[in-house]
Amino acid sequence: MNLFLKPQTPLFDPSSSTSWSSSAIKSLRSFFFNLVVLVCNQISSILLLQPRGPRLQSNLFDPSSSTSILQGCNSFNLGENLSEMSNNASVPTSASNTPIAIDDDESPLETNSDPSLLPITSRHTSAVWSDFKRKRVGDVIKAECNHCSKLLAGGSKAGTTHLKDHIKICPKRVCQDLRQTRMFGTKKNLNDKNDTMTLAPYEFHQEDGRRDLAEMIILHEYPISMVEHIGFRKYSKTLQPGFKVPSRNTTRKDIMKRYELEKENVATLLRKAKGKIALTTDMWTADNQRKGYMAVTSHFIDNTWKLQSRIIRFLYVPAPHTAEVLADALKESIQSWNLDLRLSSITVDNCSTNDAMMEILKGVFPYGSLLLRGDFFHMRCCAHILNLIVQDGLSAVVSNGVQRIRDSVVFWTASDKRVQRFEQVAKQITPECSRKLALDCKTRWNSTYEMLSIATSYKEVFVVLSARNNLYKNPPTPEDWEKVEKICEHLEVFSKTTLSFSGTNYPTANLYFPKICALRIAISGWLLSPHDYVRKMADIMLQKYNKYWASVNGLMGVATILDPRYKMALIRFYFAKIFDEHDFEIEVRRISDLLRRLVDEYGSKMGKTQGSSNQQDFDLGSSSKSNEETFMQEFAEFLQQDKDSNCGEFKDDEYAKLVGELEEGFETCDIDSGTSGLCTE
């Protein structure tokens, strides 16, 4: 303090009662000024040890500028720091004159041992600098690519656009911009359980997202309003922030656009098919609306000889569903696809309304365009025929017993408590049985068969529970169980046949004939059963079988003849088991004549005639064994024994000639070019 203060007059004289003198005030003012200078010099020495950028190198600490010093120190509380400054003897009294080298940009964020490298500072905010480093080359600053080491302009005035362009085309850069890539899961081989995640370029398209959204709603029958749900929109935004969820009306338009596209694809496929088109139709009632809808499905062989099935209409049919109303709806569906001249058959369920509808339609379409003038225009559903045969047989002999079993299943599946009680008893009495009780649908006989087969395995459980629960008042009788068990053994062959007929891709006409004949032989065998109820059931089933399948056997027989494994031999084999000697020859001749009529019709439509008066019959030929469960071993033995008989059949060369002409006709006919739908050379 003595270094700066040189008082010539005492600041305070105790002996003097007068006020402060002017010289004392001047001395006090000089004291405070020097004190301010001391404090500012102390602050300057601290800040210069930790430079914070070019702004700290202002005139604030310029000794020649007293104004700057005073302005810079006005914000400090001098009273709080006075004692600290007075006791610190090692504090420098002036700012250091040694210059501090600071980069032109800003304080460095990273350093490198290479003297030519320059640091990436806080001013370099672009993401592109993660792929470049700054480097001094001569007197200029360059940006060097971290991947290919190419030098580009890197000064403060060069910008970063050219650097971004280089990253896009850099030959040695592996995709590292995660904002334009996506993780894909791949497996090296089928046995590899772990997915390998890889990065691959990804480009988002709004149109693809809208198309997939519409397809999802169609496939899973979601309500269109889901696109406006907050949760769905939030979820979509999380998956792809760039996807803009469309509105309800836009989604509806996307769905209709997809419908029109698929409709055109089906139309193109139908136009290219050179053969005839078969249709199946059925009525469907919506549970929630109680409205009737008609579904129409087309079946045909495409040009690659693959079986195709396409739904061509699904339309609302207003009540009442009379034969006239149904006929008009089906006629409109057929004409809207221009299938008038290309129909081969229409398959419907067996009910009186459908019979009347088919009679109306047979007179609507051109008479000459139908197969054999409409002889096979009306076809009956095989699965539905099976259902009628079995239902009639069961109703005649065990209708009361089946109903008691059905009531028992309904009772013990009515509540969770009853189900739990039934399962507890079943685990103790029949621990080997694990199947759950199933209630049948009365219009599907195979579901009735499943219900009965499961219930019979728990018959002891039903007996025990009938004695423990007073509410269970109508259990099946021992006679019911005996009949149902015996009948289920016989109906197993029907169950397997129904499953075969219910397939969508593999069943073809040549496979139906052996199964239908096997059923006919099985039913005839039941007529010899020692149980009267089995014989009665077989008699009723046989009547229903002959009513519906007597004529259908002809068309199925033709398909079997065209199978090179069987030819005419399989027809003769099964008919020998079904008919007596007199009827056998009649039925075999009926199938042969039907085949000739079909060949003649196809030949005439292709501009060829096939005479049949002097033709020889098919030769038996040889046949390889198939996988048919029944009678196939006997069929092989039959072929060996009857190989030389040639009983009323075509020769092999005649058979091959006819089949060759049919195939040639399919190759030469062109339905697309004309409107008549008839094949011409």
Do residues 435 and 287 share a domain? no
- Please tell me the least confidently modeled range out of 91-95, 517-521, 643-647: 91-95
Q: Say yes or no to pLDDT of 487 above 70.
A: yes
Judgement on whether residues 435 and 514 belong to the same structural domain of the protein:
yes
CA distance 670 to 628: 37
Three-state secondary structure call for residue 520: helix
For the ranges 125-134, 271-280, 360-369, 652-661, the lowest mean pLDDT is seen at: 652-661
| Structural domain contains residue 116 | no
- Does one domain contain both 360 and 450? no
- pLDDT-based confidence at 517, cuts 50/70/90? confident
Q: Which of 382, 413, 430 delimits the end of a domain?
A: 382
Same domain, 323 and 369: yes
Are 423 and 500 members of one domain? yes
pTM above the 0.75 mark? Answer: no
Determine the number of helices (DSSP H) and then strands (DSSP E) in the chain. Answer: 22, 11
Residue type, 601: E
Would you say residue 426 lies in a domain? yes
Q: Which structural domain, as residue segments, surrounds residue 332?
A: 274-382
Instruction: Output the six-digit token pair for 355.
Output: 């019979």
Rounded Cα distance, 670 and 681, in Å: 8
pLDDT, tens digit, 9 for 90 and up, residues 387-429 = 888 888 888 888 888 899 999 999 999 999 999 999 999 999 9
Residue 113: strand pairing partners: none
Could you tell me if residue 441 is inside a domain?
yes
Q: Which two tokens stand for residue 252?
A: 């509806």
528 inside domain: yes
Residue 318 shares a structural domain with residue 332? yes
* Residue 146, domain member (yes or no): yes
Same domain, 350 and 393: no
Q: Does some domain include residue 21? A: no
Tell me, yes or no, whether 493 and 398 share the same domain.
Answer: yes
Residue 18 reports pLDDT greater than 80: no
Spatial CA neighbour of 560 closest among 520, 618, 603? 618
Together in a domain, 353 and 389: no
Give CA torsion, residues 666, 672, 677, 678, to 10 deg: -40
Is 230 found in the same domain as 161?
Answer: no
Contact 218, 255 (CB under 8 A): yes
Same domain, 235 and 289: no
Q: Specify if 520 maps to a domain.
A: yes
User: Structurally, how many domains does the chain consist of?
Assistant: 4
The CATH number of whichever domain residue 278 belongs to comes to 3.30.420.40
Of 550, 565, 597, at which residue does a domain stop?
A: 550
Same-domain check for residues 409 and 489: yes
Residues 40/46/52/58 CA torsion (nearest 10 deg): 30
pLDDT at residue 351, as a whole number:
85
Q: For position 197, what pLDDT does the model report?
A: 60
DSSP type of residue 629: S
Residue 283, helix vs strand vs coil: strand
Last residue of a domain, one of 115, 148, 172: 172
Average pLDDT, the chain: 75
Amino acid (1-letter code) at residue 294: M
Q: Assess if residue 310 is contained within a domain.
A: yes
460-471 burial, b for 16+ CB within 10 Å, e for fewer?
A: ebbeebeeeeee
What is the predicted pLDDT for the residue at 656?
56
Least confident of 248-257, 260-269, 446-455: 446-455
Cis peptide before 320 (omega within 30 of 0): yes
